[in-house]
Chains A and B, each alone.
Chain A
Amino acid sequence: MCHAVPAKVTAVMEGEMAQVDLSGARKTVSTALVGPVAVGDYLLVHVGYALGRVDPDEAAETLRLLEEIGANT
């Protein structure tokens, strides 16, 4: 119920809506809660709304950290 999924913006639409690619499926979601978006942005989508964004730099940083922990063992 609280699980939002990452989705990539494929088109920006009228009225605070956007088309996103959600694991291969095309969906229309509201962006009223996140403000203006651009094609290529990653959003966290839940019950038809973008709730937040995925920050690509911070994601890369987490993956780097995970690899580093792995390398220590």
Chain B
Amino acid sequence: MKYVEDFRDGRIARQIAAQIAAEVQADRQYRLMEFCGGHTHAIFRYGVKDLLPPNVRMIHGPGCPVCVLPIGRLDMAIELAKRPGVTLCTYGDMLRVPGSRRQSLLKARAEGADVRMVASTLDALQLARANPEKHVVFFAIGFETTTPPTAVALKLARAERLENFSVFCNHVLTPAAITNILEAPEIRAMEAVEIDGFLGPAHVSVVIGAQPYEFFAEEFAKPVVIAGFEPLDVMQSILMLVRQINEGRAEVENQYIRAVTRHGNETAKALVAEVFELARNFEWRGLGDVPYSAFRIRDAYADYDAERRFGLSQGRAQENKACDCPKILRGAAIPTDCKLFGKQCTPQTPLGSCMVSDEGACAAYYKYGRRAAAPRMEAAE
């Protein structure tokens, strides 16, 4: 596919790696956080990690929407799915995430709940139109990339007066989470994760643009490079970060110019603003409560808000205490630190959310962590 293979050339990757090696200063550490699970996945799948000098270290961030959803919210979805007359639909990865007491949506389905996997919010709407006797709830999760599609669905549902459709909203915001990682005193006190620069989100930034990161590049004096998800994008972005760090700059730079502009997708942003407003607070797995870090459905769409419609409230969740996901999500541990990793917990038998999605750090380590590097770029697709 055009714009895919072009950015997976192993020869160029090795040349950029040589350039990075030539430019890093030996007495310096370059601790770079890739916020997005998409980058984590690329770094492992294409062996980017193995091409970097030892003092350039990638720290995996919390940018995997499946991984950061707190168990309490998942429990609410499972409870909702079990109600008679409800069809609960969501994106694939969510089905296998373990909730409290080892429940999951998949298990609820095996026990008779009507749980469906959908590839798009348009499919969820179609389910509602085709099944007027059921109430279809779309369990909405994700960052700024999946929020606009949910907004479109809510607008269509209201325009059509589709009464048997609602959304359980769990959409979260990237810049708020990055700010939280940088400033939360309790996280810093708990385990200090020093970060020298960020790889900024690719497709989230397609929607919100480069501008929202300017605040914390300035405020926290950390360089940010918005990076595409292909391996050469990642390599080039790392080189750009190394240069900023060497030169003492802390700016927002955009490597992914073929898709990201300063202000992003105005149509999408306007739609989102019309349907959603900021929630005062939202709990993230691993980060805890993060103020103004999620969306809630506006009052004008209250009839389509599953939380209000079904009077849902968050109960007490039970974390699997042996699972290190919360630490991994804030960059304070790596998957192999977890006692369950690769033993009881594998992608087939996930005990924590980080092992479910391809973008989760545990799944990425498990699938690609043990294989050899750069030739994979040519080999892949």
Selected from A5, A51, A69, the residue in CB contact (under 8 A) with B239 is A69
Chain A residues near B11 (CB-CB < 8 A): 70
B194-210 CB contacts (< 8 Å) to partner A:
201-204, 206-207
Question: Chain A's nearest CB lies how many Å from the CB of B150?
Answer: 9
Number of A residues whose C-beta is below 8 Å from B? 40
B178-206 CB contacts (< 8 Å) to partner A:
201-204, 206
A11 close to chain B: CB less than 8 A: no
A55 close to chain B: CB less than 8 A: yes
Q: Digit string of B289-329 for contact with A (CB within 8 Å is 1, else 0)?
A: 00000000000000000000000000000000000000000
B19, A72: Cβ atoms closer than 8 Å: yes
Chain B residues near A44 (CB-CB < 8 A): 203, 206, 259
Chain B residues near A71 (CB-CB < 8 A): 15
Question: Chain A's nearest CB lies how many Å from the CB of B374?
Answer: 14
With A8-B2, A34-B265 known to touch, is A58 a contact of B15 (CB < 8 Å)? no
A51, B19: Cβ atoms closer than 8 Å: no
- Counting chain B residues whose Cβ lies within 8 A of the other chain, the interface size class is 35 or more
B64 close to chain A: CB less than 8 A: yes
Question: Chain B's nearest CB lies how many Å from the CB of A13?
Answer: 13
Query: Interface on A for B, CB 8 Å cutoff?
Result: 1-6, 8, 22-24, 30, 32-35, 42, 44, 46-49, 51-56, 58-59, 61-63, 65-67, 69-73
Docked pose: A66 CA to B257 CA in angstroms: 13
Question: Chain B's nearest CB lies how many Å from the CB of A46?
Answer: 6
B121, A47: Cβ atoms closer than 8 Å: yes
Which stretch of B24-32, B53-61, B140-148, B273-281 is in the interface?
Answer: B140-148
Docked pose: A12 CA to B158 CA in angstroms: 26
B16 close to chain A: CB less than 8 A: yes
B148, A62: Cβ atoms closer than 8 Å: no
Chain B residues near A3 (CB-CB < 8 A): 38, 41, 203, 229, 359
Query: Would you mind naming 28 contact pairs between A and B with Cβ atoms under 8 Å apart?
Result: A1-B141, A1-B143, A2-B38, A2-B65, A2-B204, A2-B359, A3-B38, A6-B1, A30-B152, A32-B152, A33-B268, A42-B3, A47-B146, A48-B119, A48-B120, A48-B123, A49-B120, A49-B152, A52-B260, A52-B264, A58-B257, A59-B6, A62-B233, A62-B255, A66-B12, A69-B12, A69-B19, A71-B15
